[in-house]
Amino acid sequence: MKRTFLFFLLTSFLFPVSSQEWELIWEENFDVDGVVDSTVWSNEYGFVRNNELQWYQPQNAYCKNGLLIIEGKHKKVKNPHYDVNSNDWRKKRDYASYTSSSINTRGKQEFLYGRIEVKAKIPTQTGAWPAIWTLGREMEWPSNGEIDIMEYYRINGIPHILANAAWGTNQRYHAKWKSQAIPFQKFLEKDPNWTDKFHLWRMDWDEDYIRLYLDNELLNEISLKETLNDKLGNYKNPFKQPHYILLNLAIGGDNGGEPNPEEYPIQYQVDYVKVYQKKSPTKLTKIETGELWPDNRGIHINAHGGGVIFHEGKYYWYGEHKSSHTSSAQVGITCYSSTDLVNWTYEGVALAVSDNSESEIVKGSVMERPKVIYNSKTNKFVLWFHLELKGKGYSAARYGTAISDKPTGPFKYIGSSRVNPGIYPENLPKSYRNKVYPESISSNWWTPKWRKAVEQGMLNLKDIKEGQMSRDMTLFIDTDGKGYHIYSSEENLTLHIAELSEDFLSHTGRYIRLFPGGHNEAPAIFKKDKTYWMITSGCTGWDPNEARMFSAPSIWGPWKQHDNPCIGPKAELTFESQSTYILPIQGKKDAFIFMADRWKPHNQIDSRYVWLPIQFDKKGKPFLEWIVSWNPNSFFDK
Ligand code: GAL
């Protein structure tokens, strides 16, 4: 937040707020006392840039009596990053004198255009530098774009309220600014008690303008015509991408000025954050297969490797939140809802990654292929996903579970495990159970001897004690209410189907192996009449391959393999996608949607969805045909 200042005259004319044209799409009222909601907010850690006075601490931000309180305190705290006893030059940074907090909605609540309103009471004491701002989600600062809806600090010792936007130049970390800095005195002249009151900061943002208001008074207007980045920022307009919101209180720093410890502690209080968008954004009428799929905010849906359930009149879609720079979990598992399967409303993060490095679901772990099922006996929504521990590649091969009372969460993480430790699969013949395989077989992959041993359960036996590996997975509830966990096991070579306990939170111990050595991933299953159909992929990482299809008269088999169900161009690559789930449409007979992901491993946030209707040939065998665009509500009525 470094800047040079332009002093402008205060443009003060009132703007009418017409509530009709705006639709509230998200609000945060800080209604639950205690820590801030981690499905919405992430904490910033560390020092304020160029300032060694202050340390951001999560505990300085909390909710009380319907307010977010960010406290600024004067207290020496140890910097956890450096060892006090070392001779490191950074030793001088061992202690920070002031603490405060900075929270942001990155990845969790992002918006493209609309109105953002924040009602807050700001601290104006010495050193205080409170801010309400947004940053664009792509690119490095400032080419990502910064909008300061509110900043308060001293310029040459004189307090000001600022409203700014910044974007990229050809010099790294150097921004172009359009700033307004209004002497704080102007506000005090109008209302001597200004400081004791809550005020309303607002941004109205569309494809043409960013307008920043304080108590309905326009402070700054930025035309998007002038906000193009230079070459370093790819000539992009950083204000034509989703932005996330930051609320923070800095103390001191390049702008806050020297704090007087006697004025501390101080409080920055936020009553609410509300986001509106123009009513009736163009309703989608069709699924455009493999294209960008905008949600209610106009942002491409971010729910990959997912699954969908139907509950009390609504569909809920859960999936992996993906970011642009890594495939690991940076945010968690997201949830969207819909009544027509075409228009989806963002419901937020259902299960958030943790900031705690001790947690199994710490940011940077792998949380893939989430599936939710509803348990009507316990009245709980149960979430399962493939978990890999941070920094351990894909070696943990565990399933994780979480639980919620509401379909939209927040889900509470329960824990992770391998499957059915100590238990043999039902269909592994007794004569294979005690076999001991010599190193010469187990370490010489892909030899005929090794393949035979895999088929006979060598990799299953290797994990009997610890439990079976569980990577790509799905869940299925049968017509009799029983639940099943279907997962890639045995180093992805063999699929397993395992029965779930009554509460859907663990396994009963009953499980079978399917197609040993068959290398099946991405299982998706449905039942039509009395037949179970399963579609899977081969194992080629993020690259697409040819789908496989299987059927059985009972979940326990016998399972038989059919040809690739895809027909038409790119059928041999499943239309450049990989299966994730099969969704039965409510109220329509034999209507199922095949859901698949078209991965973009170098920019996963741009991965696409390939949703196609499952069609049946004259013999009742399912097939998948590429359709450019279609509507699931009318397609099956033909
Ligand atoms: C795919 C799998 C994905 C992910 C990926 C990692 O084969 O289906 O869910 O695990 O490998 O490379």
The answer to which of 119-128, 141-150, 247-256, 493-502 has the lowest mean pLDDT is 247-256
pLDDT mean over 146-167: 96
Cα 472 to ligand 1 centre (Å):
7
Nearest to 546 by CA among 533, 536, 554, 534: 536
Pocket test for ligand 1, best of 328, 333, 542 (most atoms within 8 A of CB): 542
| Closest C-alpha to ligand 1, atom 6 | 541
Please tell me the distance from the alpha carbon of residue 489 to that of residue 419, in angstroms, as a whole number: 9
pLDDT tens for residues 595-637?
Answer: 999 999 999 999 999 999 999 999 999 999 999 999 999 999 8
Separation of CA 368 and ligand 1 centre (Å): 8
Q: Which two tokens stand for residue 384?
A: 């399962």
Angle 387-392-395 from CA coordinates, rounded to 5°: 65
Q: Is the pLDDT of residue 86 over 90?
A: no
Query: How far apart, in whole angstroms, are the C-alpha atoms of residue 120 and residue 324?
Result: 33
Task: Please choose from 365, 471, 520, 543 the residue to mutate so as to test ligand 1's pocket, defined by most ligand atoms within 8 A of CB.
Answer: 471
Which residues form ligand 1's pocket by a CB distance below 6 Å?
A: 305, 368-369, 472, 521-522, 539, 541-542, 578
C-alpha 327 – ligand 1 centre gap (Å):
10
pLDDT in tens, 170-193: 999 999 999 999 999 999 999 999
Q: Which atom of ligand 1 is nearest to the CA of 327?
A: 6
**pLDDT for the residue 91:** 47
DSSP 99-155: EE-EEE-TTTSEESSEEEEEEEE---STTEEEEEEEEESSSSTTTT-EEEEEEEEEE
- 624 in Cβ contact with 533 (< 8 Å): no
Separation of CA 578 and ligand 1 centre (Å):
9
Q: Is the pLDDT reported for residue 265 higher than 70? A: yes
Please state the atom number of ligand 1 nearest to the C-alpha of residue 539: 7
Q: What is the mean pLDDT of residues 277-306?
A: 91
Ligand 1 pocket test, pick from 521, 545, 602 with the greatest ligand atom count within 8 Å of Cβ, gives 521
Evaluate whether 548 touches 524 at the Cβ level (below 8 Å): no
Q: Copy the structure tokens of residue 312.
A: 């009390």
Number of Cβ within a 10 Å radius of residue 626: 15
Nearest CA to ligand 1 atom 12: 541
pTM for the whole thing? 0.87
Query: Is 109 within 8 Å of 41 (Cβ atoms)?
Result: no
User: Which residues, other chains included, contact 284 with Cβ-Cβ below 8 Å and sequence gap of 6+?
Assistant: 294, 342, 343
601 CA: nearest ligand 1 atom: 12
Kindly state the greatest CA–CA separation across the chain: 91
Q: Taking a C-beta distance cutoff of 8 angstroms, is the pair 6, 177 a contact?
A: yes
What distance in angstroms lies between residue 523's CA and the mean position of ligand 1's atoms? Answer: 12
DSSP states of 405-423: SSTT-PPEEEEEE-BSTT-
Burial track 24-46 (b if 16+ CB lie within 10 A, e otherwise)? ebbebebeeeeebbbbbbbbbee
Q: Which of 472, 573, 599 to mutate to test the pocket of ligand 1 (most atoms within 8 A of CB)?
A: 472
What is the Cα–Cα distance from 106 to 116, expressed in whole angstroms?
15
- Which strands form 412-417's sheet, in the order they lie side by side? 366-375, 380-388, 398-404, 412-417
- Condensed to tens digits (0 to 9), the pLDDT of residues 548-600 reads 999 999 999 999 999 999 999 999 999 999 999 999 999 999 999 999 999 99
Q: Whose CA is nearest to atom 7 of ligand 1?
A: 541
- Model pLDDT, residue 206: 94
- Going by CA atoms, what residue is nearest to atom 5 of ligand 1? 541
Instruction: Please give the Cα distance from 132 to 270 (Å, whole number).
Output: 10
CA of 93 to the centre of ligand 1 (A): 42
In this predicted structure, the answer to whether residue 459 has a pLDDT above a threshold of 90 is yes
Nearest atom (ligand 1) to Cα of 368: 9
Task: Give the C-alpha separation, 263 to 84, whole Å.
Answer: 29
Using omega within 30 degrees of 0 as the cis cutoff, is the peptide bond preceding 159 cis?
A: no
The single residue listed with the structure tokens 């039902």 is: 426
CA 13 to chain centre: 40
